[in-house]
Structure 1
Amino acid sequence: MISVVTADIVGSRDLADRAGAQRVIEDVLARVHTDLGVAERALEPTVGDEFQGQFPDLPAALQSILLVTLALPDGLALRFGVGVGPVYTIPARGSELPEGPGWWAARQAIDTLHAKQVRAMPAVRTWIAAAQDEDAAVHEQVRLANAYVWARDELVNAMGERARRVVYGRCMGLTQRELAAREQITQSAVSQLLTASGAAGLVEGFVQWRR
């Protein structure tokens, strides 16, 4: 069940240093691709403030999106529209253009997300949509996955940079002792940070998606 992602920068027109923000985001995307290595096509810039990538399944897409969200510094955020469905490419002069129901669903997802952020869910950064012709089981999985990412995004949005770094490290299998050394704080402080931020649920969710 191929999953494709279209992302855009939240508030890109209001950024004081748009070019600098682009460099930071691209560095984060490259880091996540290196650390996780699950993308069939890594998230890369396309046009304007948008990025696109392709993953073998929905769990792989959601793992990558979580790590990207955790790794971005304060003041920078991406919105992610995830499309589940078939994709193909159209030959073009000197390249191939991604196309197909999966991509149409990703565009629908990010449009839906824009509308929901304006209304009652400003902290939500991810929305998932299945291609119209996918069977009922796929649409049900997408519905349940959306419930998961809504809660996940709320937790991440409430975290500071240090908490996000620590959660990223735990997702990558680092111990509390290793994270304490990296952050130059005590292991007890790392434990308290993880407990206070609700990180245990995020890390467990990440582990479950990897199975």
Structure 2
Amino acid sequence: MVYSVITLTGAGTMNHLVMIADVIGSRQLANRGQLQTLLEAELRTLHKESTGLASPYTITLGDEFQAVFRDADRVFPDILAILRALHPVGLRFALGIGSITTRINPEQAIGMDGPAFYQARDLLERMKKDRRILAVAGLPEDDGLQESALGLLDHQLRKWRPNRLDILRLLLQGWEAGTIADHLDITEQSVYKNIREGGLEHAIQLTRALTGRMNNALARTD
């Protein structure tokens, strides 16, 4: 299973979003080597689309990886892509926004420090105890709404099959149902069935609202 953390904070400089992710129970997996190969391949694919990335996806401890983002626009599509690539292995994503006090490393997401990393790491450790697979720290509008929304999304992500993860990811990227059907080699009827049965229209509204909140936090300077 994979844990991932994103943390949000502000410290008078430009904020960044840090993701830290970890494969849950990876040492007990019989196919650990194959899993790592799949993870490396997916992260390379995501790195090719560099929009929004300040520091690329980097595997740090064999089964842990992290990245730094300038904005949150691609975060949820990326999470869905990684979940899809490693399915049925579980993933946990912790997200945090805040300042980074060292120089940004554009080559690898290592050798950096600051509140964004602290929040992400602390959140990841808490997630290991409370079994969440998706969480955000550091949003200023901490009215409880995002926790409820993330809880609902967390619940759905645990149950969805690979095709549904792909369909939601592509919908978030603006694809039409017919194009998705051709890309996934399924019928358009199957796409609409997944949208209906998975409540994907609501999931899109939820993820876009959360993305907006994260981008607002990234734009703040304190």
TM-score range, shorter chain: 0.7 to 0.9
Please report how far the alpha carbon of residue 27 of structure 1 lies from its aligned counterpart in structure 2 after TM superposition: 2.1
Counterpart in the other structure of 1:85: 98
- Relative to the length of structure 1, the TM-score reads 0.78
Which string of whole-angstrom CA distances, capped at 9 and with x for unpartnered residues, describes residues 117-141 of structure 1? 1xxxxxx3122223xxxxxxx4434
- 1:64 and 1:186 map into 2 onto residues whose CA distance is 22
1:13 to 13, 27, 38: 27
Moved more, 28-37 or 98-107: 28-37
Contact 1:9–1:50 (CA<8 Å) still a contact in 2?
yes
% identical aligned pairs: 22
Counterpart in the other structure of 2:117: 103
Contact 1:32–1:64 (CA<8 Å) still a contact in 2?
no
- Relative to the length of structure 2, the TM-score reads 0.74
Identify which of structures 1 and 2 has the higher relative contact order when contacts are C-alpha pairs closer than 8 Å and 6+ apart.
2
- 1:98 and 1:172 map into 2 onto residues whose CA distance is 30
**CA shift in 2, pair 1:66/1:56, >3 Å:** same
In structure 1, the residue corresponding to 2:189 is in which secondary structure? helix
In structure 2, the residue corresponding to 1:97 is in which secondary structure? coil
Moved over 6 A (4+): none
- 2:82 and 2:134 map into 1 onto residues whose CA distance is 10
Which consecutive residues of structure 2, in runs of 5 or more, have no partner in the other structure? 1-14, 216-222
Which string of whole-angstrom CA distances, capped at 9 and with x for unpartnered residues, describes residues 94-133 of structure 1? x97111121111111001111111xxxxxx3122223xxx
Task: Answer yes or no: is 1:146 the counterpart of 2:147.
Answer: yes
1 or 2, which has the higher helix percentage?
1
Aligned-pair RMSD on alpha carbons? 2.8
